[in-house]
Structures are given as structure tokens and as C-alpha cells.
């Protein structure tokens, strides 16, 4: 006699040897039995694949959102229980779907998807290094696995200066020795990274002084921050004799 049996997922999940008993009988004899055993080879495995996307492909604006997608698959031969996915970098990590039979087990060939996001900070741009973060996946039957996603940071440092002058007496032209010209210089950070070691020099103005604008008193010219400097100049006879604009 010959026959066959198709191994089931339940057999693999149970992990026990597949035993079966055959009986033989006749009109003249008592029943005889024989059994055979086939061992089960469990091969638990888990895999993780993490991806990241940001508009434009690089992080270059504070507040822009990096979207993360994490796929966890079961390339092994047994169902996985107690599956966990952890990513401390993503505070809104959530299960998005994939448990087709809603049994809370990561079945063989099943893929579970998780999503989350992260808002780029000024500290990220100032650091100027890739935004890397790692997610891990684990189950009761496997070791922990990990995958990292990377978003490059694009720094764009820029500084702008505007200088304005006005006569203290409200006039439109210097016409007397000792007329005072008041100067205002504004320095602005038009880039996307904080600027350090900012200096403003004007050899023409001997009393040039910082007037304000460092809102957080960190001695850094922050993005979109404007620092103001003021100074003055007293018109000389030489200026009037030269006749050139001051």
C-alpha cells in the first residue's frame, strides 16, 4: 500500500514530529499496528525593510516632514507570535496593515507595514549630517533584526546686509561741518543654518555698535533673524570741499 500526506502550516508551527499509525487486520487475526515518524524542521526567521522619503530628496527646511515606511516579513517556515517593531526616532509609529487573517501572528510570506513621520529641526540642519535612524523588529521565535533609513541634509548658509544713512537734522544733503549722519546696518540670515562668529565692520563709522536682534541671546544669527547695528559720522570740511556723496 502507498499513500501521501501534505505537510500543513499547523504541523510546522507545532514543531512536533509528524507521527501516524497504520493498522492491519483480518478475519483471522487480531489488529496489528505500526507507526512511523517524520521530524519537523522549524526555521523561524524575520526580516525588516525601512525606507524614508522627504520632498525634494533632501532635508533642507525646518519643519518639513520625513515619511517613514517599515515592512516586516516572515521569510521562515513557521508563524511568528509576539511581533514588535520599535523605532525611538519616530514618535507616531503605527501599524498600517498586513495581518490578512487578523490572527495577530506574522504568517509565512505575510508582510506587516508600519508608518511614521519626523519633522526636521533646526538642530538637524545645523549639524549638517545625514538624518539616520534605525528600526528593530522582534518576535517570540526569532532574534532581533534591524534596518536603517537615511535622509541627506542640505545646508545652505547665506548672510545678507543692508545699510541705510540719514541726516540727524532731517535734511537731504550734508551742507555744514559737523552735520551728523546716522547709519543703520541690518544683517539677516537668509539661509537654512544658524550662523556663528558673525562680525560687522565699517571703518568709516568709529562708534559702530550692536543695537539688538539676537532674540534668544545665543550669539548665533538664527535663520530669518535680523541683527541691527548703528553708528554715526560727523561731516568734515574735507567732505564738503570734496563734494562727493558720503
- Decide: helix, strand or coil at residue 128: coil
Q: Can you tell me the distance from the alpha carbon of 54 to that of 60, in angstroms, rounded to the nearest whole number?
A: 10
For residue 187, which phi and psi values (nearest 5 degrees)? Answer: -115, 125
Mean pLDDT of the chain: 95
Owner of C-alpha cell 509576539? 82
- Decide: helix, strand or coil at residue 124: helix
Write down the pLDDT at residue 26: 87
Q: Can you tell me the distance from the alpha carbon of 168 to that of 170, in angstroms, rounded to the nearest whole number?
A: 5
Write down the pLDDT at residue 35: 83
Owner of C-alpha cell 541691527? 228
Write down the pLDDT at residue 12: 84
Give which of 85, 128, 79, 82 is closest to 108, Cα–Cα: 79
Q: Can you tell me the distance from the alpha carbon of 138 to that of 85, in angstroms, rounded to the nearest whole number?
A: 7
Q: How many helices (H) and strands (E) does the chain have?
A: 3, 13
Q: Point out the residues of the chain with pLDDT beneath 70.
A: none
The answer to whether 191 and 178 are in contact (CB under 8 A) is no
The answer to whether 108 and 77 are in contact (CB under 8 A) is yes
The answer to whether 89 and 50 are in contact (CB under 8 A) is no
Write down the pLDDT at residue 183: 98
Write down the pLDDT at residue 216: 96
Write down the pLDDT at residue 214: 97
Write down the pLDDT at residue 74: 98
Write down the pLDDT at residue 159: 98
Q: Can you tell me the distance from the alpha carbon of 148 to that of 86, in angstroms, rounded to the nearest whole number?
A: 12
Amino acid at each position: 500500500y502507498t499513500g501521501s500526506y501534505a505537510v500543513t502550516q499547523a504541523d510546522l508551527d507545532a514543531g512536533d514530529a509528524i507521527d501516524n499509525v497504520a493498522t492491519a487486520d483480518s478475519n483471522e487475526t487480531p489488529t496489528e499496528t505500526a507507526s512511523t515518524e517524520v521530524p519537523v524542521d522549524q526555521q523561524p526567521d524575520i526580516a525588516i525593510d525601512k525606507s524614508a522619503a522627504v520632498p525634494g530628496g533632501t532635508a533642507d527646511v525646518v519643519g518639513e516632514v520625513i515619511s517613514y515606511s517599515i515592512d516586516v516579513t516572515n521569510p521562515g517556515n513557521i508563524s511568528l507570535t509576539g511581533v514588535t517593531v520599535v523605532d525611538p526616532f519616530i514618535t507616531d509609529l503605527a501599524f498600517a496593515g498586513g495581518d490578512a487573517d487578523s490572527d495577530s501572528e506574522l504568517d509565512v510570506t505575510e508582510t506587516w507595514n508600519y508608518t511614521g513621520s519626523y519633522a526636521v529641526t533646526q538642530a538637524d540642519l545645523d549639524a549638517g549630517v545625514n538624518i539616520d535612524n534605525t528600526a528593530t523588529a522582534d518576535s517570540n521565535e526569532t532574534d532581533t533584526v534591524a534596518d536603517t533609513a537615511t535622509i541627506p541634509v542640505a545646508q545652505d548658509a547665506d548672510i545678507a546686509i543692508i545699510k541705510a544713512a540719514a541726516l540727524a537734522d532731517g535734511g537731504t544733503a550734508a551742507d555744514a561741518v559737523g552735520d551728523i549722519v546716522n547709519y543703520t546696518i541690518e544683517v539677516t540670515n537668509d539661509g537654512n543654518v544658524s550662523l556663528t562668529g558673525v562680525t560687522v565692520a565699517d571703518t568709516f563709522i568709529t562708534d559702530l555698535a550692536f543695537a539688538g536682534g539676537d532674540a534668544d541671546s545665543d550669539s548665533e544669527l538664527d535663520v530669518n533673524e535680523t541683527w541691527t547695528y548703528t553708528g554715526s559720522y560727523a561731516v568734515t570740511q574735507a567732505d564738503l570741499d570734496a563734494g562727493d556723496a558720503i
